[in-house]
Structure 1
Amino acid sequence: MATASATDEQRAPAREPVLSIRDVSKGFGAVRALTDVALDVYAGEVVALVGDNGAGKSTLVKILAGVHSADQGTITFNGAPVSIPSPTESRELGIATVFQDLALCDNLDVVANLFLGRERGGLAIDEEGMEQQAWEACRQLSAKIPSVRIAVASLSGGQRQTVAIARSLIGEPQIVILDEPTAALGVAQTAEVLNLIERLRERGLGVLLISHNMADVQAVADRVVVLRLGRNNGVFRTADVSYEDIVAAITGATDNPVSSRAHTGAADKEQAE
């Protein structure tokens, strides 16, 4: 079975990750949602975070989005330790999160959704400037949106996901977190969203993709991080791992001790440096 190894770590980029998580733990009463979780995301890289229901994926995403605070551990952004006490702090830091429900207003058009709560202009809203920036955001993603003045209620599932992703780019983030972006989408719409993810990588953004769809993961992810029962259970390079290997790590058919040792060794080395 192909797992991350010391040789793989030596081939890893020498540059510093944009986002680095070390020993992050979170509990809700007697329930331990996360225990000593570690994760790195580099610029221009898609990292898939996978795991069964209850593995801790949503909790980790909410910590990064500023919804929950970690009980312990460190989060480093661009090499500096940071705290993320609120969603506003997360956005200002450079982390954009697109949750599964998208949080779009169906009765508003694309422009209004992109700038909702952060409209440009003073007493008079700069509608023309906002519309131009909306078109620019869509062009950067090669988005298939018929008009930025169309109501979101009229868009398909894939187009709605496009609007949510484009909205995340308005604040010039460095990391984009996508929570199950292809859930409940058809084949054509899924392909459209996967193309958007590739556009984000081409723009040099770090992407953290949460997904249950292994086909999507293997199509766009550079690395796969597996969580099981709130703990790391494998870090894989997508090109070197099979579908069966990932599923085995998710279900616990293997605990990937080699991967765990390699990941821990790399973390210790980075901290020492």
Structure 2
Amino acid sequence: MADAVERKPPSGELVLSLRKVCKVFGAVSALTDVDLDVHAGEVVALVGDNGAGKSTLVKVLAGVHAPTSGTMTFRGKPVTLAGPNDALALGIATVFQDLALCENLDVVANIFLGEELNPYALDEVAMEIRSWKLLNELSARIPSVREPIASLSGGQRQTVAIARSLLLDPKLIMLDEPTAALGVAQTAEVLNLIERVRDKGLGVIMISHNMEDVRAVADRIAVLRLGRNNGIFYPDSSNQELVSAITGASDNAVSRRHERRQTPHGTEAEMRP
């Protein structure tokens, strides 16, 4: 469980609150009595092993799946999401792992795709100005908003996807594996973006398997295991605590490897297999 150090409660507005959320698919319980709070100006990392329920929870919050039971409160009001459009209208934006960008279109077209300022006549100048404004707010390193997505790096593509998510002025952004398959420099760029989004006063949910990235930007770390809550932790929580919560046991391959690395003078006979 989380360490005993006294923590100050988050100071920002409580943006999202889930209580006893369940999701059942036939005979399979994907989520069981899940609680989660996210405040404005806070990054909450959602971690867990494969099959822990992270993707299902994200889809519930994005309006893709309706919860079987439980309550959801957004900015102090009980809400029900009938679909993704409801989530967007409410102020919940999601950047999925595949980003859903059109490589043959430029940055402006991708940011405004489906959300053109005027559905009857494209105002290219206004959209370009708004695109630059969004990117500048993130201190993004994009050479030109007229560059096709195909010419951008992985980190720059993630930047465009995050900028697009800010278009409708959301209060909560969910990022699904935002640093997956990125190099060191690109990962640092995306982590900086996440911090800037937090500094804008938005609530952020970050789903990631990379604990180093999680520790770098998260204010709190929520662990899911087998569809249930399994603890709230912090960036300074020990590796052993997090591994135990994620895997459900303290004696496992990850923790044994960590122990060996902490005892470099140990002999092979002293090391567990």
Q: TM-score, normalised by structure 2?
A: 0.89
Q: Does 1:47 align with 2:44?
A: yes
Q: Does 1:158 align with 2:168?
A: no
Residue 240 of structure 2 aligns to which amino acid in structure 1?
Answer: E
Report if the CA contact (8 A) 1:214-1:243 is conserved.
no
Q: After the TM superposition, which of the residue ranges 119-128 and 132-141 deviates more from structure 2?
A: 119-128
Match of 2:15 among 15, 18, 43: 18
Residues 119-268 of structure 1 mapped to structure 2, 5 A cutoff: 119-239=116-236, 241-253=237-249
Q: Deviations over 1:112-158 (max 9, x none)?
A: 00000111125321100000000001000011101000100111111
Report if the CA contact (8 A) 2:222-2:233 is conserved.
yes
When residues 152 and 41 of structure 1 are mapped into structure 2, their CA distance, relative to the original with a 3 A threshold, is same
CA–CA separation in structure 1 for the residues paired with 2:119 and 2:28: 47
CA–CA separation in structure 2 for the residues paired with 1:17 and 1:33: 26
Q: After the TM superposition, which of the residue ranges 34-43 and 12-21 deviates more from structure 2?
A: 12-21
Residue 82 of structure 1 aligns to which amino acid in structure 2?
Answer: V
Report if the CA contact (8 A) 2:91-2:171 is conserved.
yes
Q: Does 1:66 align with 2:63?
A: yes
When residues 135 and 184 of structure 1 are mapped into structure 2, their CA distance, relative to the original with a 3 A threshold, is same
CA shift for structure 1 position 236: 1.2
Report if the CA contact (8 A) 2:12-2:41 is conserved.
no
The equivalent residue for 1:3 is 2
Residue 10 of structure 2 aligns to which amino acid in structure 1?
Answer: P
The equivalent residue for 1:101 is 98
Q: TM-score, normalised by structure 1?
A: 0.89
Coordinate RMSD, CA, aligned:
1.4
Match of 2:26 among 26, 29, 40: 29
CA–CA separation in structure 1 for the residues paired with 2:242 and 2:82: 33
Q: Deviations over 1:249-271 (max 9, x none)?
A: 101016xxxxxxxxxxxxxxxxx
Q: Which has the larger radius of gyration?
A: 2
When residues 130 and 15 of structure 1 are mapped into structure 2, their CA distance, relative to the original with a 3 A threshold, is closer
CA–CA separation in structure 1 for the residues paired with 2:67 and 2:238: 32
When residues 77 and 99 of structure 1 are mapped into structure 2, their CA distance, relative to the original with a 3 A threshold, is same
CA–CA separation in structure 1 for the residues paired with 2:221 and 2:82: 27
Report if the CA contact (8 A) 1:4-1:235 is conserved.
no
Q: Deviations over 1:17-69 (max 9, x none)?
A: 10000000001111110000000000000000000000000000000001000
The equivalent residue for 2:89 is 92
The equivalent residue for 1:269 is none
SS in 1 for 2:99: coil
SS in 1 for 2:14: coil
Residue 253 of structure 1 aligns to which amino acid in structure 2?
Answer: A
Q: Deviations over 1:178-220 (max 9, x none)?
A: 0000001111110000000000011001000000000000000
Residue 66 of structure 2 aligns to which amino acid in structure 1?
Answer: S
Report how many aligned residue pairs link the two structures.
Answer: 250
Match of 2:75 among 73, 78, 86: 78
Q: Which stretches of structure 1, 4 residues or more, deviate above 6 A after TM superposition?
A: none
Report if the CA contact (8 A) 2:154-2:186 is conserved.
yes
Identical-pair percentage: 66
